[in-house]
């Protein structure tokens, strides 16, 4: 059980760091990362990272974005 908790804590910290980095990304870099997440094969870990990018997308453009 301790290994599980350690891994879960590490993942949570890593996702938090990534979320902070995504918030600070300039728009072109953010859009490139967001597109890369959509283009990548689906995996459980990738889905966690993609969810961080999706939250940031909707924070930046709550009404959507005209491409």
Task: Give the contacts of 61 (CB within 8 A, at least 6 positions apart).
Answer: none
Domain ranges of the chain: 2-60
Task: Check residues 1 and 49 and name the one with the higher pLDDT.
Answer: 49
Q: Which has more confidence, 60 or 1?
A: 60
For position 54, what pLDDT does the model report? 94
pLDDT category, 15, cuts 50, 70, 90? very high
If pLDDT is split at 50, 70 and 90, which confidence band does 67 have? Answer: low
pTM greater than the 0.85 cutoff: no
Determine contact, residues 55/19, Cβ cutoff 8 Å.
yes
Alpha helices in 1-67 (DSSP H): 2-24, 27-39, 44-60
């Amino acid at each position: 059980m301790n290994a599980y908790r350690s891994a879960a804590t590490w993942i949570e910290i890593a996702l938090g760091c990534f979320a902070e980095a995504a918030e600070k990304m300039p728009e072109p870099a953010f859009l490139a990362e967001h597109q890369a997440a959509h283009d990548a094969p689906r995996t459980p870990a990738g889905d966690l990272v993609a969810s961080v990018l999706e939250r940031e997308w909707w924070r930046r453009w709550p009404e959507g974005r005209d491409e």
